[in-house]
Amino acid sequence: MQLVCSWSGGKDSCLALYRALQAGGTAKCLLTMVNEQNSRSRSHGLEPAFLQAQARLLNVEHRWCPASWDNYEQVFVHELRKLAGCGVTHAVFGDIDIAGHREWEESVCRQAGIQALLPLWRLGRDKVLDQFIDAGFKAVIVVINRELMDTRFLGRVLDRQTIEELTACGIDPCGEQGEFHTAVVDGPLFARPLAWQPRGSVAREAHVFLDIELKEEK
């Protein structure tokens, strides 16, 4: 299997890629959709420089595509078709149990002539978190919907202590309802930990984003 991974930079896409590689796949490319200004990724709000730093540590090519919500699918399919022409056979997605997401992913893959691969599908949210942590990955909470949860969790590592606190607050510790998003900064696929530090936060409507500064690699 020659793989492109729909890469948000977060825990689910990372674990999905990890499991696809364990199943014998070869990672050819990470693909991220960014806003029209080409400045931040959709949903997770990560800068291209951060995503590129992840890709370097994973030793995988990274492509990012600017798109509006109106032409998102058109741009995504166009990029998948280009990758299919370069030998990619499967697109990896990190969805766990939301049927509408899977239907969309299978549709865009059909249009591009490749297969959708969802290694986390129906695994169970608790098990996804267990496998992520047990494998040695480290993720930081980088976006919070302040209408759904307390902003005190922004910048926290998603470890077992944080999971316990989220659960006690009645929050899905997988964040599958849009409560929060994460960015992976270390793990078994990384050549070394990603060097970063927080430089504050940015609020946009209901969401608060962690502003991340990359440290110089030594």
Q: Are residues 79 and 144 in the same domain?
A: no
| Interval 14-31: pLDDT, tens | 999 999 999 999 999 999
- DSSP secondary structure, 129-197, as one string: HHHHHHTT-EEEEEEEETTTS-GGGTT-B-SHHHHHHHHHTT--TT-TTSSEEEEEEESTTSSSPPPEE
Q: Are residues 113 and 7 in the same domain?
A: yes
* Number of compact structural domains in the chain: 2
| Interval 86-132: pLDDT, tens | 999 999 999 999 999 999 999 999 999 999 999 999 999 999 999 99
Q: Are residues 145 and 191 in the same domain?
A: yes
Q: Are residues 106 and 134 in the same domain?
A: no
Q: Are residues 10 and 84 in the same domain?
A: yes
Show which of 84, 117, 150 is a domain's final residue: 117
Domain that holds residue 103: 2-117
Show which of 99, 117, 135 is a domain's final residue: 117
Q: What's the CATH number where 28 sits? A: 3.40.50.620
Q: Are residues 156 and 194 in the same domain?
A: yes
Q: Are residues 112 and 181 in the same domain?
A: no
> What are the start-end ranges of the E strands in 74-120?
90-92, 115-117
| Interval 35-88: pLDDT, tens | 887 678 877 889 889 999 999 999 999 999 999 989 999 999 999 999 999 999
- DSSP secondary structure, 64-75, as one string: EEE--SSSHHHH
Q: Are residues 92 and 193 in the same domain?
A: no
Q: What's the CATH number where 147 sits? A: 3.90.1490
